[in-house]
């Protein structure tokens, strides 16, 4: 299978809701501002990280797709990870892991990024599939590519399956069954809505699910994915309303423990509906929408997206936010109500 079959079995990240954190960049008032590559805004980054973990988020995914990993330099990656590890540790959240993303086609480069991420303070690596030659790439090639990375990686590896940013690269459930047997591959983030494939992975009797965790990358699928054996979500809307998504996760697990009642199911469906309403913005606008909402709802960061070509925010301008304003005002009220109840965080 691979050259590392005697390697000790690594453990997956702790179960819970994780956030693919946006990378915040400085605004025009910053003395070193550059319109094409604005510098990191670590003050806002840290404020956002603490906002999330105080809202019950189990850990942070830095430098994934939402984190604009492809627009950051190696030195910025190190600075970002190290700063957030220190922020969490200093605030008493040493138990909240950081998962660092990679987005490269080269095995050696992915391995080096993982090494740098560990040195900066990350505990896990989330590795995006190699999609440049996706139409010509067979399942055997995909399997061997991930195994080669995992063989050499100094952190436990999670497979990041996001066809939307990998030229529609397809990783079959049967390939996941093989990859899950690797001692250094500990889970996956599935950022697609193919529920039957998610079921064939999350419920597969051929996978040891104590060592391989399935996370949905779509909060709008959280309840169905939990029902089929998924662990939780790495979710964009949770970066804006952490308690909302954590509440659904907790309610499912608490009701499963005591026996799910009709009232529990109704409450879970209501929460999933509200999450789906908000996720429509994330699905449409991605990182641009997440940053816009963080700025407008909570005053964190600036409106207008990230680095080019994402700078500029909504193409339709102010009128676009008005389409979402009512939904997000309602979600903010719900988030603040959950905060007042004090069950998360």
Positions marked catalytic: 160, 189
305: which 2 tokens? Answer: 């997206």
DSSP state string for 103-149: --S-HHHHHHHHHHHHHHT-SEEEEE---TTGGG--HHHHHHHHHHH
Phi, psi of 11 (to 5 degrees): -100, 150
Is the distance from CB of 321 to CB of 304 less than 8 angstroms?
no
Which residue, among 131, 51, 119, has the nearest Cα to 297 in the 3D structure?
Answer: 51
C-alpha torsion angle, residues 258, 259, 264, 269 (rounded to 10): 120
49 burial type by CB count under 10 A (0-12 exposed, 13-18 middle, 19+ buried): buried
Closest-CA residue to 18 (of 121, 77, 101): 101
Pairing of strands 213-216, 185-190: parallel
User: Nearest-CA neighbor of 126 among 95, 94, 162, 96?
Assistant: 162
What is the Cα–Cα distance from 132 to 123, expressed in whole angstroms?
Answer: 28
Q: Which residues contact 269 (CB under 8 A, 6 or more apart)?
A: 223
DSSP state of 209: T
Q: Where are the alpha helices (DSSP H) in 259-317?
A: 262-298
Query: What φ, ψ does residue 99 adopt, rounded to 5°?
Result: -105, 120
């Amino acid at each position: 299978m691979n050259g590392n079959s005697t390697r000790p079995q690594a453990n997956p990240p702790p179960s819970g809701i994780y956030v693919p954190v946006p990378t915040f960049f400085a605004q025009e008032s910053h003395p070193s501002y550059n319109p094409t590559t604005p510098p990191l805004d670590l003050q806002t980054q840290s404020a956002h990280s603490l906002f999330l973990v105080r809202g019950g988020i189990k850990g942070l995914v830095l430098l994934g797709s939402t984190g604009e990993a492809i627009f950051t330099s190696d030195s910025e990656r190190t600075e970002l990870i190290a700063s957030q590890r220190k922020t969490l540790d200093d605030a008493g959240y040493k138990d909240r892991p950081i998962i660092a993303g990679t987005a490269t086609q080269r095995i050696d480069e992915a391995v080096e990024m993982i090494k740098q991420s560990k040195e900066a303070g990350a505990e896990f690596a989330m590795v995006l599939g190699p999609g440049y030659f996706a139409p010509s790439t067979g399942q055997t090639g995909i399997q061997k590519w991930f195994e080669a990375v995992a063989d050499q990686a100094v952190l436990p590896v999670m497979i990041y399956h996001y066809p939307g940013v990998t030229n529609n690269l397809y990783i079959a459930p049967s390939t996941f069954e093989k990859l899950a047997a690797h001692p250094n591959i500990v889970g996956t983030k599935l950022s697609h809505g193919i529920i039957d494939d998610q079921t064939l992975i999350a419920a597969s009797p051929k996978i040891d699910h104590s060592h391989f965790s399935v996370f949905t990358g779509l909060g709008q699928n959280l309840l169905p994915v939990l029902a089929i054996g998924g662990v939780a979500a790495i979710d964009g809307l949770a970066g804006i309303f952490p308690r909302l998504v954590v509440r659904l996760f907790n309610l499912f697990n608490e009701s499963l423990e005591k026996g799910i009642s009709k009232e529990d199911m109704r409450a879970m469906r209501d929460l999933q509906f509200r999450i789906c309403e908000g996720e429509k913005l994330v699905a449409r606008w991605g990182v641009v929408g997440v940053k816009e909402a963080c700025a407008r709802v909570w005053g964190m960061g600036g409106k207008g997206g990230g680095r080019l070509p994402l700078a500029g925010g909504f193409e339709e301008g102010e009128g676009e936010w008005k389409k979402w304003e009512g939904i997000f005002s309602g979600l903010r009220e719900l988030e603040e109500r959950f905060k007042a109840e004090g069950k998360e965080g």
